[in-house]
Amino acid sequence: MPMAPWGMPDVVLTPEELAARTTVATEAAFNAATDLGLLVEETRILHNVFSLVIHLSPSPVVARIPVVLAPGTTPEQLTRKQQRELDVADWLRHQNVPAVRPSPLVPLEPVREDDFSITFWELADVADDHEPYAAADHALSAALHAALMAYPGLLPFLSPFNDGLPALLESLEGSPHLTDEDLDRAFSEWHALRPVLGSAAAFRDRFPSVDLQPIQGDAPSHNVIRCRDGLLFGDFEDVCLGPVEWDLAGQGPEAVEAYNAAAGPLGMRTVDPDLQRVMDTARNLQLIGAFALVPQLPLLADGLQHPLQAWRDSPALVL
């Protein structure tokens, strides 16, 4: 059955309903943590957008709780996704890659509490100038990809496109933010991209010279935590198998140039321009699909207006 943190509403949640969701999720984190034997005297919210991130003081532990999910997401799907994130982050820790670490004080697995699925992480010493989603040097993405090449675990192929996007697109009908022309174009691009990006085999047929490898899955240069002793990569919930171009999608030619300059000395290939255009289109389509999440996260309605207009102004996909 689908996940139901507050029912994945069809109408936009009110501020009071959003606050209630935060309260209930925080209580779930507290209960799960204390059941695991952690000392929790105070909860402090560190971040609250797609996931609620809470410091469980005085323990050096942070709870992360997804509160905005694609329609139709099941508990089993979310658990698998969170387990992949924990496994990759733990592996990176053992490779001495600067990434957010799972807490060693609890088992390395998601915990189910009420309608929420929770993971636990080490508390980072965040710098005063940290800004969520602020871009770091794109050369860091090349370094992360170089490290991830050796990851031995099994990962799904391009899961942000293949697993989450179909349900988002199906839920766009009736969105007040999109016109009929927008919907026609979105589904046209989906049907053009799906035969190419729907499986690793199909991808290799279309781009035989491009290697696939583990990637972070969600713009790693924008998912960093600025700490007092350096940067930490975070948010590996979309970790998957794919081309490195997906992690650069939508970030522009300067990002690609910086990535290419760092990739060569690391023994990494440089970006394929044709594939980058395809990945940019796929990423844009994912952003359009995110309008289906507005009922769960109303602030998206304004935040997606610029990507929407840029997409409308961009040329149609030609494969």
Amino acid at 223: N
Beta strand segments in the chain, E:
40-48, 51-58, 61-66, 111-113, 116-122, 213-215, 224-227, 230-233, 240-242
Q: Which residues contact 60 (CB under 8 A, 6 or more apart)?
A: 103, 105, 122, 123
Q: Three-state DSSP class for 61?
A: strand
Return the pLDDT at 256.
95
Backbone φ/ψ region at 247: left (φ over 0), alpha (ψ -120 to 50), beta? alpha
Q: Which is nearest to 223 in space by CA: 213, 212, 243, 238?
A: 238
Domain ranges in the chain are 15-122, 154-217+238-254+266-308
Return the pLDDT at 83.
98
Return the pLDDT at 132.
78
Fold designation for 15-122: Phosphorylase Kinase; domain 1 (3.30.200)
Return the pLDDT at 281.
95
Return the pLDDT at 6.
45
Q: Which is nearest to 292 in space by CA: 6, 4, 5, 11?
A: 11
Return the pLDDT at 8.
58
Give the span between the Cα atoms of 174 and 202, in whole angstroms.
Answer: 32
Return the pLDDT at 316.
81
User: Tokens for 119?
Assistant: 């993971």
Backbone φ/ψ region at 56: left (φ over 0), alpha (ψ -120 to 50), beta? beta
> Helix axis angle, 253-263 relative to 139-148, nearest 10°?
50
Give the span between the Cα atoms of 269 and 166, in whole angstroms.
Answer: 30
Strands 213-215 and 61-66: unpaired
Return the pLDDT at 136.
74
Return the pLDDT at 157.
98
Return the pLDDT at 319.
73
**For each of the chain's 319 residues, which pLDDT tens digit applies?**
344 444 456 689 999 999 999 999 999 999 999 999 999 999 999 999 999 999 999 999 999 999 999 999 999 999 999 999 999 999 999 999 999 999 999 999 999 999 999 999 999 998 888 887 767 788 899 999 999 999 999 999 999 999 989 999 999 999 999 999 999 999 999 999 999 999 999 999 999 999 999 999 999 988 999 999 989 999 999 999 999 999 999 999 999 999 999 999 999 999 999 999 999 999 999 999 999 999 999 999 999 999 999 999 998 877 7
